[in-house]
Structure formats: C-alpha cells, structure tokens
A and B are shown apart, each in its own frame.
Chain A
Amino acid sequence: MTRIPVKLPNEPNLSPQIIAEHGLSEEEYQRVLAIMGREPTLVELGLFSAMWSEHCSYKSSKVWLRKLPTKAPWVIQGPGENAGVIDIGDGQAAIFKMESHNHPSYIEPYQGAATGVGGILRDVFTMGARPIANLNALRFGEPSHPKTRHLVSGVVAGIGGYGNCMGIPTVGGETNFHAAYNGNILVNAMTVGIARTDRIFYAAAAGVGNPLVYVGSKTGRDGIHGATMASAEFSDDSEEKRPTVQVGDPFVEKLLLEACLELMATDAIVAIQDMGAAGLTSSSFEMAAKGGLGVEVELDRVPMRESGMTPYELMLSESQERMLIVLKPGREEQARAIFEKWELDFAVIGHLTDSQRMVLRWHGDVVGDIPIPPLVTEAPVYERPWTLTPLPPALDPRSVPLPRDWRASLIALMSCPDLASKAWIWRQYDHLIMGNTAIRPQDGDAAVMRVPGGGHKGLAMTSDCTPRYVQAHPETGGRQAVAEAWRNITAVGARPLAVTDNMNFGNPQKPEIMGQFAGAIMGMADACNALDFPVVSGNVSLYNETEGRPILPTPTIGAVGVIDNIAHSVGSRITQAGLGVVLIGETRGWLGQSLFLRELHGREEGAPPPVDLAAERTNGDFVRSQIAMGRVAACHDLSDGGLLVALAEMCISGGTGAEVAQPAGNAVPSHAFFYGEDQARYLIASGSADDVIEAAHAACVPAVLLGYSGGPLLVVKDLLSLPLGDIKTAHESWLPQYMSAAE
C-alpha cells in the first residue's frame, strides 16, 4: 500500500534548483517520478540522490567493472559486500578492501584521511574480521605546490591518529608526488582482517519482523551529502565544502570494534552493515534490498547529537562510527548489554517487513515511502562514450644521453620525491602493535604479518600503481599495476591470492577519461586472468578533477598473499657479504616513461614498459620456488628507477655494499641496463647463486650473475663507486628536510 507522506513544516517545495543541487540530471529525475508515481518529498529526493550518486551506484563504471575476473576456488566473497573474503586455510579467511577518501582529504586533510581509515576498518570488521593491518596509497601534488606540505602533514597525521588509536598496525603503502594531483590528492586506505570462515557476517537482511538496531555514535549534522560531493568535480571554492567532511573519533570506533566482535561471538546477529557513505540511507536500503525485504524506520528513535534534526538530516548524515544490525528476535537485551558495557549508543529504530518498501516515520507520521526494487533495477547505468588512449611510440634509449656523472645520477634518483625514503611518514604510524609484523615497512617488497591463530602462517600485503604508465597507455598501466602487486607478494616468498582495486579517475563524462578507465580495466582484467589473481573488492572514485584538469589515472591495486611458514619469508635487505647478486628476467633497456627519463631529463615520454604476463608468471613462480628452497637471502622486484635503484635500496637498508657489472657481451646501453624499467624482473641476493642460475636455465628463466655483496661501497664496474652512507643520506633526508622547511 502506498501512503502519501506528510509534508514537514518548513519543508521547501522541490524546485529545479533543489533537484540539481542533489546531483540528479533531468532524465534521472524523470525516472524518480516514474518510480514514485508522484513528486517525492525532500527526504525521498535525498535518498534517490544518494543512492544514485556515482559513489553509491557505480553508474558510469558498472559496465566496465563486470569485465574483471572475480572468482577462484579460494574466493569466498567477491565484490558486492562490504569487503572481499578469501580462504587462507586452517578454517581462516582474510577479509580486505581498499577505499578512497580523496575529496574530503583535500578539503580537510586530517579528518578526511582519518575517517577514510575509520571507514575501511568498519567495512572489514562489519564482516566479522579482526583487522590486523592497514595500508595506504597516497598521491600528492608536486612538492613545490604551496599546499602540498600542509596536505602531506595533515593526511599522515590523520592516518596515524586514527590507526594508532585503534591499535591496528599500519604496515605498508606508497606515496607519490605529481603536478596532476595539485588540486586533487588521492588518499586510498586498505584494511586486512582475519575471521573464521564459518563466522563471516553479511549485509543481507532476513526475517520479517526482526528488529533493526542502531549502534555506535550519535548522529550529527556532519558529512551530509558526502556521497554527492564525492561524485562531483572540484572547483576553486571547494574548501567551502568543509561542512560536508565528517569528523572521526577513533576512540569510539575502537569501542565499536570490540563491542561488535563481542556480539559476533554470540549467535544474535542476522545481518550487519556499517554506515558509510550516505549513512543510514545506504545501509538500511542495502540491507533490505539484498534480503529482498522491506524496512520500516522510526527516525525519531535514532540517537541524535543535537536537537532539531530533521528526517532529511538523519537519513543523509555521514556521522562516523555507526553500525546497523538486524538481530534475531528477542536478542535485543543481550545485545544492548554488550553495547552499554562499551558505553555506546544502542537503539531499536525499526523492523523488517515483507513490503519491499522503505517506510520512514517521524513521530508516527510517514515522511517517506519508497519502493526498494525499482531503485535498484531502474538505477541509471551509463555506457558512456569512450576513446582509448593510443599507444605512444616506443622510445629509443639511444635518443637519451648517457649520464655524464653516474654518481650524481644515482644520488638524484635515490633522493627524488617518488623514490626518497618515506620513513618520515611510516614512523608516524604504529606498525608494530599486535606483535605480528615480520617484515616492516621498507624492509621488503610487501609487509608480512603473522596470522593470529594461524600457526606459522603469514600474510603478505602490498599496494601498487604506476600512474605515469597508466597515463601514457592505460591498458599497459592497468596490467603493470596488477603485475607489480603480484611481484611484490612473490618477492617476499608468498603466494599471491587476490586483489582489491581502487579506481581513481577524472570526469567519466569526457570520452578520453572514460577511455582511460576502460583501458585500465582491460589491462587489469588481462593480468588478473593470466596470474589467477581475482578482484574480490574495490571502490571507484571518479570526478577527480579541478577546474577541468584531471589527475593521472590511478587504479591502485591492493594485494594479499599467503606464506605457509612465515620463517621462510624474505625481505629486501642485503645484510651479509659474499652473496651473489642475481638478476632474474630479461632486460631490453626500456627507458620510456622511466623515472630516469623524468628526473634526469625532465621528459615524460614514450610507451611504458610492456608487460609480458607469461614471463611474469614464469619468472615469479621461479623466484618463489627458490625462496621456498631457502636459496634466497634477499629479494627485490625491479620497478621505479630500475636495477641500480633496486640494488642501492637493498644495500643501504641492509648496511652492506655490493660490486656489480653489466654482463660482458650485453649490448644494452648502460643507462638503459641500469635504469630501464623492464617488467617481470627481480634482483636476488643468494649464498648459492650458481644453483639459482642453473635452476633458472632449466626453467627457461633468464638469470645472470651481476656481482657480489660486501664492503662499504656500492660499485658498478667502470661507472660508479659510492659510499653507502652518501646514498643513504640522500635517500633519507629529502622528505624530512622538505617537511621541516614548513616549520
């Protein structure tokens, strides 16, 4: 039965301006009218606006996301739930996801980043997992931009402030700088949690009449229309949108985590969903929709932070640290006791119905009444026009001059913003709490964490993307991002299992941007298929533009792998002399889009390095097998900066030098050999290099001995000799010096 909702006092009439302010196009509003059969009330309009926003509906990206592989025997839950779930053996599951908080972090860096961490943590513990690690991928504008320092400082403090208080170690990530992010930074946060495979919680509501329970913080006026904001381009007055940014309280979230896990240990819960973007609207709506049910909500029962709040504000507030739970009948008091022990709000705010409608009541009156299925089935889905970025011509390395001063070239690369040590950042994050961190930031290609309750088992995790490659050729860049994540998991000795993707792009209504998105997806799909590396969760952030200038397309890949015995994992530090330094993989000398070309010659040109997925697989499987046999003391994948940068990183982090040479007879120009960014390559340090090389040849994997570790210098025959201290100082001082210049 359709009820005509009452109109509240002071409720404005819906003008075209109000409709436009809700981000609905004329065509979309006509759909609203068709579904409702009448003009919606303001709160109903707000609901459509939020649910059909790009952020919640994926209306521009959906047709493309379907092309990604999402299944494998070890996948328990793919995209569509709060987070992805994979089986890691012994009855345990890893639950993980990455999510962006780009727009809020630019407007208010501390709170924007902090609530980004809070949101992704909730996505993971909503499913029954105890979070064991956080990672984050950050992209800032160029260092010389007047806002960059302030943004770095605020974002890092916000991530640390939230994660440290929650007691979840922040163990990995990446930070880049590029002018394309000057007006639109990226803050992508990832959480990995562990649950029992038989104790995973989902959002689908069930059981007509079951109580709908609100727990956590009270609802305030913060973050109203955050989802709509996140779906629009920025203009120069975007700082004026500050009131749409939420404020985080990690202390309350810590209590919420403990209370939820305590309740989850009972059997009282039917379904649970966190209140993230679009708050109570999307959580209640999604729970009912997934269960094929209806829901009746008494909004006056929602715990409120301030008086005078309206149904509209309550439905659209993005106040943090809140959860919605469907309980089994009669379990209200058991649940209430747990939340009251943790000093959190607890309120029964409604119940499930069989009407397939969402009915909102305010002091008894119906103020909103929306049919649920059409909002999903008739949600706009756009096949936006797209133009693929053509592959630029490959750059001939011979067109790039050799360094006149090799020492200066290495120092310049090791201290450039993208390659300089990020210790200033990760030392502000508690990366050791819980006592499970086996490979710490900067000590290996991926963080390696002991799995609590999992015996000797470890989880490896990383986040990767090379946006300049994606910009030059999205398909190659998409492949490369997945391949690099797979390599980083491999390089610590773990088996890569699955990924989460965080797609950060510009305005999808521009065909070239939609083409970047399409190209990146095609490349990612190729790589995920070839490497058996399914996508189990993700997030799309579009409209990352300021005044029409888009960011570099940035499909960040978060990846997780497992290692059966954590004692067999290896880092990238060379800590002893006399180890053979072996290069695995083929080096053609690819300088196009390399950091060498950009940092030393100021050129961002050429095709990015091609990604041969068969070679990735063969070489990676080989490296993993050698690590498992105990033949590898240190391993590092080759990526940004190429071979010599990787070797320098291995030497300075381990405090041991090395002496290497380009193999005799190798015809690649020396700068392309040492700084080229060819893919599918690893550098390993081994006490049994001969055995490794023999095994490589047997496996048809290119492998060559470059030299040996030892001494206080990094020496490249005929080219350079540098004390490790000089490299280390250059590498470690750039970021602290840059940041202290502001103080």
Chain B
Amino acid sequence: MKAAVLVFPGSNREGDVAQAIELVTGRRPQMVWHGDGDFEKTDLIVVPGGFSYGDYLRCGAMAAQSPVMAEVKRRAQQGVPVLAICNGFQIATEAGLLPGVLMRNAQLKFVCHDVHLKVETSQSLFTNRYQTGQVIRVPVAHAEGNYFADADTLKRLEDRGQVAFRYCAPDGTVDGSGNPNGSIDNIAGIFNEAKTVMGLMPHPENAVEPMFGGCDGRALFEGLVDALT
C-alpha cells in the first residue's frame, strides 16, 4: 500500500500517522506539502490531525481551501480512499467530503484520554479487520470534536450504514457515559456514501504499539493494507 500524508501549516499528528503506517507497511508514506497542487499516485490519502492554520477562523476551514485539497477532492471522486483523522475530519467536512460539522466540545474544554469505540460495521476498507459490534480503546485529543448533523442527514447516515464508530462505555453500551464531547448519537466517525472516505475524531494512530497506548488502532491500518495492496 502506498500512502500519502498531507501536511498543512500547523499539522502536528502527521508524524504519528506516518509512523503507524510505516509500522504496518514497512514503508514510509510520502509527505505532501499543502502548497503542492499535485502529488504522486497513491493508494491512500491521509489528512492528519493538528491545528492547521492555528484553527483560526473555524477548524479546518482554511486548510479546506488549500491547493492540495482541490486535488484530494478530485481523487476522492475517482475513488481513491481518504482517511481523515481529527483535524483531518474537520477539514474533510469543511471541504464537503463528509457531511455534518464538528463543533466545540460540549464541556468547552480540550479533552485527551482513552475512549472506547463501538465498531458499527466491519464492511468497509477501514474496518474490515474489526468485528461489527467490537469495542476498541483508542485516545481522543481535541477541543472541537462534537459531531452534529441535521435530522435528515443523520437519518441518511444511519440508513446507509455510514456511521463507522460510536463512543461507548467499556462494555459497549452506547450512552452518555462514554461520550467525551457531546457528539450527537455518540458518533465518533463516519463514511461517505461510497465508504471510500472515513473521518473520525479519535486517534487510532496513537494505539498501534502495546507499550504506547495499546494496539487497538492497529487493525485499522492493517485492514487498509489488506484492502489496498
């Protein structure tokens, strides 16, 4: 699997995701500077976490307008898979690759800790190494991760199986206790309609080694390798 990781001014988890990809593929992904309108052909595009443009204006709003995102949208339309994590998820919603918005956390504070996620479907490029209904533990680290969409959009997401992960309690119960930011219906991650684009707030890339946060995020990257190699 050949992967490309975008780098915007203010990106800061591009190294983490590059490290995770290198761990499962043995190959360093290409790092693509935001100002470059074009980049090598690739099997996967990653929009990483961070504070692109300092999160000024709205999180992700400025990055969504950068030259490289025009190219990402073009390739996404051609079916190239896009993994958008945290600030990447915010950028993807701003760029119209995914529906909904990410608002300020309900408690108005940055949150960093492990959360539990329920895998809503194993039927995707991104989740094929998980079981549907499996509970995994990965960290979150964000101030604006409170997912919201209008009722019609939510219904469409649910009907078409576009919810990828929900926050849950350690035993898999989906209720307020496991929700770190107030996201509607505990939504932690979603797909586009074709399930070729996935956005999520948690950081699977920070859960790929037993000594450094556990291994529950690793299957996401391994699943991508299976699907895209």
Taking Cβ atoms with an 8 Å cutoff, the residues of A that contact B are 157, 160-161, 164-167, 249-252, 254-255, 341-343, 426-438, 450, 566-567
Contact = CB atoms under 8 A, between A and B. Distances in A.
Interface in B134-189: 139, 141, 143
Contacts of A566: 211
B51 interface: yes
B113 A251 contact: no
B107 to A, nearest CB: 9
19 contacts: A165-B12, A165-B51, A250-B51, A252-B54, A254-B54, A255-B10, A341-B35, A428-B109, A428-B111, A429-B112, A432-B213, A433-B13, A434-B15, A434-B16, A435-B19, A435-B209, A435-B212, A435-B213, A438-B212
B111 A427 contact: yes
Nearest to B35: A341
A227 B20 CA distance: 44
A251 B208 CA distance: 28
A433 B16 contact: yes
Interface string B204-215: 011011011100
B133 interface: no
Interface string B6-33: 0001101101100110000000000000
Contacts of A431: 112
B54 A167 contact: no
Contacts of A341: 35
Given A165-B51, A435-B209, 5 more contacts: A251-B51, A255-B10, A432-B213, A437-B213, A450-B211
Nearest to B7: A258
Interface in B108-137: 109-113
B51 A436 contact: no
A167 B141 CA distance: 11
B203 interface: yes
Contacts of A157: 109
Nearest to B53: A251
A249 to B, nearest CB: 7
B110 A428 contact: yes
B55 interface: yes
Nearest to A569: B211
Contacts of A342: 9
Contact of B9 (A255, A432, A433, A436): A255
B110 A160 contact: yes
Given A254-B10, A427-B112, A165 B55 contact: yes
Interface in B40-65: 50-51, 53-56
**Centre residue among A252, A426, A430, A566 by max chain B CB count within 10 A:** A430
B22 to A, nearest CB: 11
A343 B9 CA distance: 9
A441 to B, nearest CB: 10
A434 B15 CA distance: 7
Contacts of B51: 164-165, 167, 250-251, 254
B16, B35, B56, B111 interface centre (most CB from chain A within 10 Å)? B16
A732 to B, nearest CB: 13
A736 to B, nearest CB: 10
Nearest to B114: A432
A394 B58 CA distance: 60
Contacts of A161: 110
A251 B10 contact: yes
Nearest to A431: B112
Nearest to B210: A567
Contact of A166 (B12, B15, B16, B112): B12
Contacts of B15: 434-435
Nearest to B15: A434
Nearest to B54: A251
Contacts of A255: 9-10
A681 to B, nearest CB: 28
A144 B124 CA distance: 54
A430 B141 contact: yes
A712 to B, nearest CB: 17
Contacts of A430: 110, 112, 141
Nearest to A161: B110
Given A251-B53, A254-B10, A164 B141 contact: yes
A254 B208 CA distance: 26
Nearest to A130: B15
B200 to A, nearest CB: 16
B56 A251 contact: yes
Nearest to B23: A435
Interface in B200-229: 203, 205-206, 208-209, 211-213
B141 A567 contact: no
A432 B212 CA distance: 9
A199 B111 CA distance: 36
B10 A433 contact: no
A427 B113 contact: yes
B33 to A, nearest CB: 8
Contacts of B209: 435
B170 to A, nearest CB: 12
A436 B50 CA distance: 17
B10 A165 contact: yes
A157 B108 CA distance: 11
Given A160-B110, A428-B111, A450-B212, A250 B54 contact: yes
A450 B15 CA distance: 15
A164 B110 contact: yes
B112 A167 contact: no
Given A342-B9, A343-B9, A432 B112 contact: yes
A250 B56 CA distance: 11
Given A251-B51, A427-B112, A567 B211 contact: yes
A433 B212 contact: no
Contacts of A435: 15-16, 19-20, 205-206, 208-209, 212-213
B12 A433 contact: yes
Nearest to B141: A430
Contacts of B54: 165, 249-252, 254
Which of A167, A434, A567 has the most CB atoms of chain B within a 10 A radius of its CB? A167
Nearest to A438: B211
Contact of B13 (A167, A251, A428, A429): A167
Task: List the 6 closest pairs (A to B, CB-CB), nearest first.
Answer: A167-B12, A251-B54, A165-B51, A430-B141, A430-B112, A435-B16
A740 to B, nearest CB: 9
Contacts of A165: 10, 12, 51, 54-55
Contacts of A164: 51, 110, 112, 141, 143
A452 to B, nearest CB: 9
A430 B139 CA distance: 10
A255 B9 CA distance: 7
A566 B210 CA distance: 12
Nearest to A257: B12
Contacts of B55: 165, 251
Contacts of A166: 12
B105 to A, nearest CB: 11
Nearest to A423: B113
Nearest to A252: B54
A157 B208 CA distance: 29
B111 A432 contact: no
Nearest to A740: B107
Contacts of B10: 165, 251, 254-255
Contacts of A438: 211-212
A167 B16 CA distance: 10
Contacts of B213: 432, 435, 437
A252 to B, nearest CB: 8
Nearest to B108: A743
B10 to A, nearest CB: 5
Contacts of B20: 435
Contacts of B19: 435
Nearest to B17: A435
Nearest to B111: A427
A651 to B, nearest CB: 19
B182 to A, nearest CB: 15
Contacts of A432: 112, 139, 141, 203, 206, 213
